[in-house]
Amino acid sequence: MKNILLGMMLLVVTLSTQAQEKKKKNAKYDIEVNGNCEMCKKRIEQAAFSVKGVKSAEWHIDDRVLHLIINEEKCSPIDLKKAIAKVGHDTDEIKATDEDYEKLHGCCMYLRK
């Protein structure tokens, strides 16, 4: 009887472990990032690629959205937003410090909300 109970408990633990959500290796995200020009595009994309786990990063000037493919096992969207804010660009969740924003070139100084 003990062996049967122990076996059933082991089976439940094994199944529950497999049922947990696994992080994706190719997760797609779109992040709103403020910027104005091609220099902004280059800076934003370089900041994104500086985060380990970023496979693709493309910022579009017209809609101000950064399209990403990341390995969620190595990074998260918050990691990316912090890196982008550090180079002076506000994201939908994390804002750049005034000091980082002031370092931007004149044409890159977007209107802050």
Domains annotated for the chain, with CATH where assigned, are 23-108 (3.30.70.100)
Q: Taking 80 as the threshold, does the pLDDT of residue 6 lie above it?
A: no
* Predicted TM-score (pTM) above 0.75: yes
Burial-class residue 44 by CB neighbours within 10 Å (0-12, 13-18, 19+).
buried
Query: In the structure encoding, which two tokens stand for residue 30, read together?
Result: 């779109």
Task: State the average pLDDT over residues 80-86.
Answer: 98
Q: Is residue 80 within 8 Å of 51, Cβ to Cβ?
A: yes
